[in-house]
Amino acid sequence: MEKVQEKISLVTADGTPLKISLARAQRRSKTIAFMMVFPLLFFVTIAFIVPIADMLLFSIDNSIVKKILPKTTEALKDWSEYSGELPDEVVFAAMVEEIKSAKASRQHTKIGGRLNYESSGFSSLFRKAGRKVKKIKTPPFKEALIESDKRWGDIYTWQVIKQNSSEYTEGYYLSALDFKRKFESGKIESLPEKDSIYLKLFFRTLLISSLIVFLTLLIGFPLSYMLSIVSTRTSNILIIFVLLPFWTSLLVRTTSWIALLQQEGVINDFLIFLGIINEDGRLAMIHNATGTVIAMTHILLPFMILPLFSVMKTIPKSYVRAAISLGAHPWKAFWKIYFPNTSPGIGAGSILVFILAIGYYITPALVGGVSGTFISNRIAYHISNSLNWGLGSAIGVILLGIVLLFFVFYDRIVGINNMKLG
């Protein structure tokens, strides 16, 4: 006798299969969750992802020459820049025609400005050409253009134009690393020592930022320890003094350090009053690396204290007492038991301070002088003053890469999962 088992399907009160009803409820909950995080996702996309994508694009974009001089760049493909001879008449005719068109639309100065980043003199060359080409109406265009300015008869001029006629370039990254492609040979060479500035600025930024991390840790660790062992009422009052700098404008704090550190400032006057130095021995603590380190250590100190304090507060005091009761010296108990438990706070504070430090540019600009400025000051200069957005973006991408390498290094040595705020 065969038994026939009927498959029983569970249904909800309205007759819908339970499996379908659960799937709908799950989709509904996911949709609600997505709608709740959508504003944050939209903000992160607009304020973070899009600017970084633009920065990456600007750092390699070189389309302006090809866009304004399409016929000339196409004609230059058949010319060898290492042949030792000038381009033929077709190239000069295309150049004259397109400079006339660019002059009419006021685009010719953009080409000069772009090529001027590669070699000085191109800005004036194209401005002059915009005025002169209107008189050139009949061939031979080659002789007429050279007669308007002798630089058109220099092979170097055409080498620069051809090597910058592609849509993308590595030139900005080469400049950001103090290298340059020789237009005469096409080889990449390092710049002379007197012209090499960016690698020095990168090294200085990393060195001073690391020093600031060390000083904030040196000052912040005992302060955080004190805050963690005193009574809650006392620690709350002291935390207010730690947070007090956040309630003051960054610009005000920086200019206050100028008043304190300058040679005629409060600190020098106080040292003279104590007899430690004389009038002729006033210390130069401003407009140099010393001013940058002092001001930024003060500004970034709370970012070290708060993570340390929040972690130390969670460490049971019984750990050290137990070690001492078992015969360990108080110092040994501290370094072997207590200190390792503070490593998550040290890691969090160090990363916060380091990343904030390498990106600062207001404080180094005001108190750093020549020897205390950061690479971020050069980024601000190229974006705001020289308008060389490509070079500024390339430096920014390299700086972003350094931060990511720092994260990878930290993850390998300490572990990102061990970084806690309490």
Looking at the fold, whether 133 and 241 belong to one and the same domain comes out as no
Looking at the fold, whether 84 and 26 belong to one and the same domain comes out as no
Asked whether residue 94 is domain-assigned, the answer is yes
Looking at the fold, whether 205 and 276 belong to one and the same domain comes out as yes
347 close to 421: Cβ distance less than 8 angstroms: no
Looking at the fold, whether 27 and 140 belong to one and the same domain comes out as no
Looking at the fold, whether 324 and 240 belong to one and the same domain comes out as yes
Tell which of 151, 166, 181 closes a domain: 166
Cβ neighbours, 10 Å, residue 32: 9
Q: What is the pTM of this model?
A: 0.83
Asked whether residue 171 is domain-assigned, the answer is no
Looking at the fold, whether 162 and 281 belong to one and the same domain comes out as no
Cβ neighbours, 10 Å, residue 150: 9
26 burial level (CB within 10 Å; 0-12, 13-18, 19+): exposed
Looking at the fold, whether 275 and 135 belong to one and the same domain comes out as no
Q: Domain range holding 107? A: 64-166
One digit per residue, the tens of pLDDT, for the chain of length 422 reads: 444 444 456 776 667 787 888 888 888 888 998 899 899 889 988 888 888 888 899 899 988 998 999 999 999 988 888 888 899 999 999 999 999 999 888 888 898 999 998 888 999 999 999 998 888 888 888 999 999 999 999 999 999 999 888 888 898 999 999 998 887 777 888 888 888 899 999 999 999 999 999 999 999 999 999 998 888 888 888 888 888 877 888 888 888 888 888 888 888 888 898 888 888 888 888 889 999 999 999 999 999 999 999 888 888 888 888 888 888 888 888 888 888 888 888 888 988 899 999 988 888 988 888 888 899 999 989 988 888 899 999 999 999 999 888 888 877 776 666 665 55
Looking at the fold, whether 69 and 29 belong to one and the same domain comes out as no
Asked whether residue 350 is domain-assigned, the answer is yes
Asked whether residue 218 is domain-assigned, the answer is yes
Looking at the fold, whether 143 and 228 belong to one and the same domain comes out as no
Specify the pLDDT at position 124. Answer: 92
Amino acid occupying residue 302: P
Looking at the fold, whether 71 and 212 belong to one and the same domain comes out as no
CA–CA separation, 81 vs 185, rounded Å?
Answer: 9
Asked whether residue 356 is domain-assigned, the answer is yes
CATH code assigned at 262: 1.10.3720.10
Looking at the fold, whether 26 and 131 belong to one and the same domain comes out as no
At 317, list the tokens. 């005091």
Residue 157, φ and ψ in degrees, nearest 5: -60, -45
- Number of domains composing the chain: 3
CA dihedral 243, 249, 254, 256 (to 10 degrees): -90
How many Cα atoms within 13 Å fall on the side-chain side of residue 274? Answer: 8
Produce one character per residue of 296-306: b if its CB has 16 or more CB atoms within 10 Å, e if not: bbbbbbbbbbb
- Sign, CA torsion 205/208/210/212: negative
For residue 274, the cross-strand partners are none
- Sign, CA torsion 386/388/391/395: positive
For residue 181, the cross-strand partners are 188
Looking at the fold, whether 79 and 32 belong to one and the same domain comes out as no
Asked whether residue 179 is domain-assigned, the answer is no
Asked whether residue 329 is domain-assigned, the answer is yes
Residues with Cβ within 8 Å of residue 74, at least 6 apart in sequence: 94
CA separation (Å) from 362 to 5, 10, 298? 79, 67, 14
Q: Are strands 188-190 and 179-181 parallel, antiparallel or unpaired?
A: antiparallel
CA separation (Å) from 379 to 114, 364, 374, 389, 395? 17, 13, 9, 9, 7
Asked whether residue 57 is domain-assigned, the answer is no
Specify the pLDDT at position 90. Answer: 92
